[in-house]
Amino acid sequence: MTTMPPRPDGVVSTAQSPASADPRPNGAPEVIRIRHLAKRFGAVSALDGVDMGVEAGEFVSIMGPSGSGKTTLLNILSLLDQPTEGDYLLDGINTSVVSERERAVIRRERIGLVFQQFHLIPYLSAVENVMLAQHYHSVADRGEALTALGRVGLDHRASHLPSQLSGGEQQRVCIARALINGPSLILADEPTGNLDAANETLVMDLFRALHGEGRTIVLVTHNPDLGRLTDRTIRLQHGRCVD
């Protein structure tokens, strides 16, 4: 394994160089590569030898019953937790061997997160909530935040507080917030779980439009109807991929 030179942000990749990376059959580079991943909590194995990859531009769903390991896997993919064993490569960077500071940089710059709960600051307007993600990125640009809101159809609601927005509108603000820093990967955890059918359709249409632009999206869901809207489904059972 070849160590790559330091990047401008100080993160050092210990993965293979792009020229020697193992691409998927259609030739697209992999955004995610997981190898022999395990996560244990004491004597309980939440994940047990998971191997999977997601290539650039794919829209992938992760499905499985309660207790299958979906949440644990998502926490590892989002760099909010670390595996007990195995490797997680994101854009060729082996995140399993970098420091916590480097993990924070990677998470901030390369991952956009959309949760079931909106996690919007109640006293900030829609545009300010989007700009908050820029603040953590050390660059706040109101114009870019307004553009991001426009992409999700909410530029006309930029000055509204979360309490003045519907559930579907709040989730679209969250998607704008996830997009603002141009991440390589969008991770969505049950993003329509708190929405009615009409808003669920709006949000999924937005994800499909983003996928059409070449975005890489991983959607965790228990809803098979949503899973069928993605390119393919990774199924977990008892902490293992079953197909």
Among 117, 114, 133, 148, which Cα is nearest to 218's? 114
Whether the predicted pLDDT of 238 surpasses 60: yes
CA–CA dist 160, 60 (Å, integer): 33
CA–CA dist 231, 61 (Å, integer): 8
Instruction: Determine which helix (DSSP H) or strand (DSSP E) holds 168, and give its type and residue range.
Output: helix 167-179
In the chain, the amino acid numbered 87 is D
Q: What is the pLDDT of residues 138-197, one digit of tens each?
A: 566 888 899 999 989 999 999 999 999 999 999 999 999 998 888 889 999 988 888 888
Give the model's pLDDT for residue 24: 45
Whether the predicted pLDDT of 108 surpasses 60: yes
User: What does DSSP assign to residue 231?
Assistant: S
User: Mean of the pLDDT values across residues 69-94?
Assistant: 94
> Residue 85, by phi and psi: left (phi above 0), alpha (psi -120 to 50) or beta?
beta
pTM, to two decimals: 0.82
CA angle 221, 29, 75 (to 5 degrees): 35
Residues in CB range of 42: below 8 A, 6 or more apart: none
CA–CA dist 176, 129 (Å, integer): 9
Least reliable range by pLDDT among 134-138, 213-217, 218-222, 228-232:
134-138
Give the model's pLDDT for residue 181: 85
Whether the predicted pLDDT of 27 surpasses 90: no
Task: State the pairing for strand pair 59-63/232-237.
Answer: parallel
pLDDT band at 56 (very low <50, low <70, confident <90, very high): very high
User: Mean of the pLDDT values across residues 34-61?
Assistant: 94
User: Mean of the pLDDT values across residues 47-63?
Assistant: 95
User: Mean of the pLDDT values across residues 67-83?
Assistant: 93
CA–CA dist 236, 217 (Å, integer): 18
Beta pairing partners, 234:
62
- Find out if CATH 3.40.50.970 is the number for domain 58-82+110-241: no
